[in-house]
Structure 1
Amino acid sequence: MAEIHPTAAVAPGAVIGAGCRVGPGCVVGPDVVLEDDVELIAHVVVDGHTRLGKGVRVFPFATIGMAPQDLKYKNEPTRCEVGAGTLVREGATIHRASVGGGGVTVVGAGCMLMATAHVAHDCVLGDGVILANNVMLGGHVRVGAGAFIGGGAAVHQTVRVGRLAMVSGLAGVTNDIPPFGYVFGLPARLVGFNKIGLLRRGASRDQLRTLRSVHNLLFKDAGEFAAKLAEVETRFGADPLVQELIVFVRDPSRRRQLVRPGRMAAPELGGTDEENGEAS
């Protein structure tokens, strides 16, 4: 029920689901599980305690589940999981977890990791995340569902990127990005929110107006941040998107501060705010 090329090396113990295709030069380790219809196109390495969900496609020279780049790691049986339908393009790397995190690196369902993107140990990516070419995620990074990280961007260890956030290409992210936030630059600064992404996922015009007001109050108006956050909760807390933002900001497990606000001149992206998918 599976198609395995004669030049592929599939170790005894690996579980290969129905309809899988393991192409020329691929290497599959003994603790790997490939669910149904997974395709390893050619010269792919999947190792460690790794599970690829149904319909995952992996392009040449990608590696999944290799040991973390962590000097403390002593070959403990940590894990790596990739959700159904995710696309992993050429040269991308996803490392299994270290013992200093939750024990598992997770890439959600329906994600796309473009060429040479890197997902370090203990990262957790929600469903539908897109990492453009050459994105680098440090260890223990959390990326919310539907977030987009532009080409060449670097995200520091332990940073949280909120759901439906948008990171511009070549950004250097060292602090947490709230849900729906749009950041730009090196170091990255919060310059707006992901209006287009929200519209595509069913947000109403009223919700967008509310988020604009919340963004202005929290990140543009003068005053103590804690007081402004309390005002946001009083005035707009009934909106589920605003409540999601408040919960993110108040998360007691956070290890970094919020990204600082900033400004971006339109010529930097070569288009208007509407064309660039953000609203300040």
Structure 2
Amino acid sequence: MAGRIHATAIIAPGAELAEDVEVGAYSIIGPNVSIGPGTTVGPHCIIDGHTRIGANNLFYRYCSIGGMPQDKKYRGEPTRLEIGDGNTVREYVTINTGTTQDVGVTRLGDDNWIMAYVHIAHDCQIGSHTIFANSVQLAGHVVIGDWVILGGISAVHQFVHIGAHSMIGGASAIRQDIPPYIIGAGDPFRPVGINSEGLQRRGYDAETISAIKEAYKLLYRRNLKIDEAAAAMRALQKERPAASQAIDLLASFLERPGRGIVR
């Protein structure tokens, strides 16, 4: 272990690091941190708080991970941060722990690519296989589904949900929920279609993509209310059984309570 920890790094008593974890120069690991095998912490990083990190992650230089939430109601409660496996976290990324006003934990799944200067605030719930380009800013309590791509300098309002497989262009301002599969950009954000190219790359067949396009038209082209569009999608599930699971992802998103969706 000692050969993988730079002589200038500070590892607090109580920290739990797998045998092959590497820690670079001048980095600090707090006493309530657990780091899994194959993970590399670059130089000048701080990882503190009640933070659990999985295997094979890379934290590039100057990250601040597990800091206390930027919430004036926070009173030092032992809230948590949980990070999965295989994530890449680049320069100056900040990820905070949760608050007792929510679930008490911020989560980041597996195989996420988090570019420089990204901020992930308290109680955010991030799925897997996402890409956040430079300077993406997430307010507290944001939920991001699997395979979402967020363009650089985009900002997401607190409590917003972004559905799986969505693709958001750079410099977008997200103030309402974005359903799964949507592609769009802008301030305010404007949806322009579904992320067909991304779905193809992930193995979705032509029949399923066609059904998702039909569901998109129900929501954005037929002048239906949200509950009417969801009901129409449930009927579409019966007509297109091979795509039932894909349509269900979209219909279920519309049926949940939220901030209203982008239109």
- TM-score w.r.t. the length of structure 2 is 0.95
CA distance in 2, matches of 1:108, 1:25: 27
One-letter amino acid of the counterpart of residue 175, structure 2: T
The runs of 5 or more residues in structure 1 that have no matched partner are 261-280
Answer yes or no: is the 8 Å Cα contact 2:39–2:57 preserved in 1. yes
Name the residue aligned to 1:274.
none
Which residue, out of 244, 247, 257, partners 1:242? 247
CA distance in 2, matches of 1:164, 1:235: 20
Name the residue aligned to 2:119.
118
Alignment of 1:28-67 (within 5 A): 28-67=29-68
Which residue, out of 253, 256, 259, partners 1:256? 259
Name the residue aligned to 2:133.
132
The runs of 5 or more residues in structure 2 that have no matched partner are none
Name the residue aligned to 2:155.
154
Give the drift of 1:143: 0.3
CA distance in 1, matches of 2:186, 2:28: 39
Answer yes or no: is the 8 Å Cα contact 2:69–2:99 preserved in 1. yes
Going from structure 1 to structure 2, the CA distance change for 1:212 and 1:31 (only over 3 Å counts) comes to: same
One-letter amino acid of the counterpart of residue 246, structure 1: A
One-letter amino acid of the counterpart of residue 67, structure 2: M
SS in 1 for 2:51: strand
Q: Which has the larger displacement, 39-48 or 219-228?
A: 219-228
Aligned residues: 258
SS in 1 for 2:219: helix
Name the residue aligned to 1:68.
69
CA distance in 2, matches of 1:137, 1:153: 9
CA distance in 2, matches of 1:55, 1:228: 42
SS in 2 for 1:77: coil
Name the residue aligned to 1:189.
190
Sequence identity of aligned pairs in percent?
A: 37
Q: Deviations for 1:17-55, whole angstroms, at most 9, x for unmatched residues?
A: 021100001000000001111111100000010011111
CA distance in 2, matches of 1:88, 1:224: 40
Q: Which has the larger displacement, 185-194 or 228-237?
A: 228-237
Give the superposed CA RMSD: 1.1
One-letter amino acid of the counterpart of residue 79, structure 1: R
Matched, 1:109 2:114: no
One-letter amino acid of the counterpart of residue 258, structure 2: R
Matched, 1:88 2:81: no
Give the drift of 1:191: 1.3
CA distance in 1, matches of 2:228, 2:184: 24
